[in-house]
Copies of this chain bind each other. A is one copy, B any other.
Amino acid sequence: MLQSNLFYKTTKQPPKDAETISHKLLVQAGFIDQLAAGIYTLLPLAFRVYKKIEDIIRDEMNKASGQEFSMPTLQPKKLWQETGRWNTIDPPLFITKDRHKKELALGPTHEEVITKLVREHVSSYKNLPLYLYQIQNKFRNEMRSTGGLLRVREFMMKDLYSFHTDEKDLDKYYNIMLRAYQSIYKRCGVKAVNVEASSGSIGGEESQEFMVLAENGEDTIKLCQKCGYAGNIEIVKVKICPKCRAKLDKKKAIEAGHIFKLGTMYSEKMKALYKDINGNNKPIVMGCYGIGLGRLLATIVEASNDEKGIIWPKEVAPFQAHLISLDNKKAQAVYSKLTGAGIDVLYDDREDVSAGQKFAEADLIGIPTRLVVSDKTGDRVEIKNRDNKKTELISPEEIIKKL
């Protein structure tokens, strides 16, 4: 894509209220735009990253036999009264009224809607297990929303719900999801560990959070470098690993995913029952598995940046390469060769911008591979990785091979 056509604008100053690195960098590099507190537009650069994260998550959910579908944002009050969460969920619901004065909630989560759906579809143990997921926007009526995409009032989320005949079957699938989540973070280029967590407003029997290690993370965990054990500092009070007895380190991290064993909490309240092999009615055993896509995007930035800007892992980068032209005629030929080979290139074709400004913007935006064509590069191209100072002169054909 030609950079002169790309809808973005970089800024020298970070937003005044910015408290996190990802908030500063995503705004300054032209990835996101704030419409109101905790409410953001994903501009084309961020949307490209978002789509790659979405594809990775979808792929992992499909591999885990998830069936994708889509539930509405607007949810009737009466469903939330069945579980008693209409007034108790924290943060409170965003509520709207229709023209018949009926109240509707803007869904922060979908346990009520899916439990209603499943109780109407499932009658026998033969219909179970069942794994359903959606990737869809959610709403949280937060009092205070600063922190960019890390603390928002509207956000995209993948939520998968699983339905089982018994706890044993839930445990089996919970472990499948645990591995799917580990694979998601790995494929997104970040290091995550899972820790026991409190279940909050969702409730249930047991839950695990996925913590991405990041120097400026808002959470603190204890991590055993030897066996990989990790725990939230509020839960793990000891200094020695309870698994292998090595010393525990204190690490900063960011929560970027949460999975829950719900058990029969929702199915009992909402009467979602199935008939077992003997014809007896039993409550369906449930699990739910959530991951915020915008939050993961910001978490990647928190985990991967330097003083010049973002360093995107190549798996989720908005483009594969950033071609910077200091000589448009030659650069155009290189651009044509690369795009012809199917490489997704952002081509800085601007003529009225200095070399220094182009380099500074490229570092800020953070595409993993920088290519420079100038009168000094001859018929070759200067290649440099974003996370490295080393430059090299190679032919366009070698670039195609590398990428």
Contacts and interface: CB of A to CB of B under 8 A. Distances in A.
A319 interface: no
A190 interface: no
Contacts of A97: 95
Contact of A143 (B4, B47, B99, B126): B99
Interface in A103-137: 104, 106, 113, 116-117, 120-121, 126, 130, 132, 137
Contacts of A47: 68-70
Given A41-B69, A42-B69, A154-B73, A96 B99 contact: no
B92 A99 contact: yes
Contacts of A70: 41-42, 47, 50, 156
Contacts of A359: none
A72 B7 contact: no
A32 to B, nearest CB: 10
A98 interface: yes
A36 interface: yes
B141 A99 contact: yes
Give the interface residue-count category, chain A: 35 or more
A39 B92 contact: no
Given A7-B132, A96-B95, A99-B143, A36 B76 contact: yes
Contact of A9 (B68, B121, B153): B121
Contacts of A73: 73, 106, 137, 139, 154
A44 interface: yes
- Total identical chains: 2
Interface string A155-176: 0100000000000000000000
A181 B41 CA distance: 26
Interface in A11-39: 33, 35-36, 39
A41 B113 contact: yes
A208 interface: no
Contacts of A74: 35-36, 39, 94, 139, 153-154
Contacts of A143: 99-100
Contacts of A305: none
A6 interface: yes
Contacts of A142: 99
A220 interface: no
Interface of A: 4-9, 33, 35-36, 39-44, 46-47, 50-51, 65, 67-76, 91-92, 94-100, 102, 104, 106, 113, 116-117, 120-121, 126, 130, 132, 137, 139, 141-143, 153-154, 156
Closest 7 CB pairs of A and B: A42-B70, A44-B67, A96-B96, A47-B69, A39-B72, A94-B96, A36-B76
8 contacts: A7-B130, A39-B72, A44-B132, A73-B139, A74-B139, A74-B154, A96-B106, A100-B143
